[in-house]
Amino acid sequence: MKAKTKRILKKTWWWTKKILLWGFISSLLYLIICRWVMPPITVTQVANSFGYGLKRDYVPWDEISYNVKLAAIASEDQLFPDHNGFDWDAIDKSFKPKKNKKSKIPPGGGASTISQQCAKNVFLWQGDGWLSKRIRKAGEFYFTQMIEWVWGKKRILEVYLNVIEMGPGIFGVEAAAQTYFNKSAKNLSRQEAAMIIACLPNPKRFTVKPVSPRVGSRYPWIMRQMTNIEDDEDVQAIIKNKVNTAKKK
């Protein structure tokens, strides 16, 4: 009986290693392909398509307004040009008690960087279940580090702005721009860009149109932050287009 149990355990471990190895290889290949090709679909998009439909239209880097790129960094991750995928100071602070519980407008994306959000949205899933969240966090750490090494900052921001949910069933800045302002993403003004980004991280609750209280109070703060960080050389090195479309609007 013991010999049979040993054989079963050995076989189970062999298959587990094989599945993990193939999972690693296939995920790595997919990640490398996505360095040049936009993800055809994400788990979040599939899940939303059943209840809200699916609006999306991927656009290349130079078809995304300079203003949206600046707004995303200003709102979600001002250290994006400097970190290696993780804001360790913010992560450390997230485990400490908050002193100011009355703050109405939180100062940004918290401990989750743009790189982490991109990794989660492209390769993983949403959900807050205890086990699901912990498994996802392990995958998020791996994929965040890999896209930092393989993709680089510009590609991470490009993919992020194309796949992130920006309204119920609305994915990516092009679909958001068309839905909310009847224009393409490359023509978004500073205010329009800030309003779209202000719906994160909960675009189903924080609506752009009609303007929810959260979006209405947050987008002016984002615009001020855009002005504050705009002249930073590291920020400019990432967000500049060949032609800075709609920069001065």
Residue 12 belongs to some domain of the structure: no
What pTM value is reported for the model? 0.84
Asked if residue 213 belongs to a domain, the reply is yes
Q: Give the model confidence (pLDDT) of 223-237 as tens digits.
A: 999 999 999 999 999
Among the listed residues 184, 196, 207, the one whose alpha carbon sits nearest the alpha carbon of residue 52: 207
- Indicate which CATH number applies to the domain containing 85: 1.10.3810.10
Separation CA 106–CA 188 (nearest Å): 24
Mean pLDDT of 18-24: 83
Tally the domains of the chain: 1
Q: Is 22 part of any domain?
A: no
**Does the pLDDT value for residue 109 go beyond 90?**
no
In a domain, 222, yes or no: yes
**Does residue 127 lie in a domain region?**
yes
CB atoms within 10 A of CB 72: 28
pLDDT digits 0-9 by tens, 60-94: 999 999 999 999 999 999 999 999 888 776 665 55
* Domain-located, residue 21: no
- For residue 2, being part of any structural domain is answered with no
Model confidence band, residue 100 (pLDDT cutoffs 50, 70, 90): very low
C-alpha angle 58-230-70 in degrees, rounded to nearest 5: 15
Question: 73 in a domain, yes or no?
Answer: yes
Structural domain for 43, as ranges: 34-239
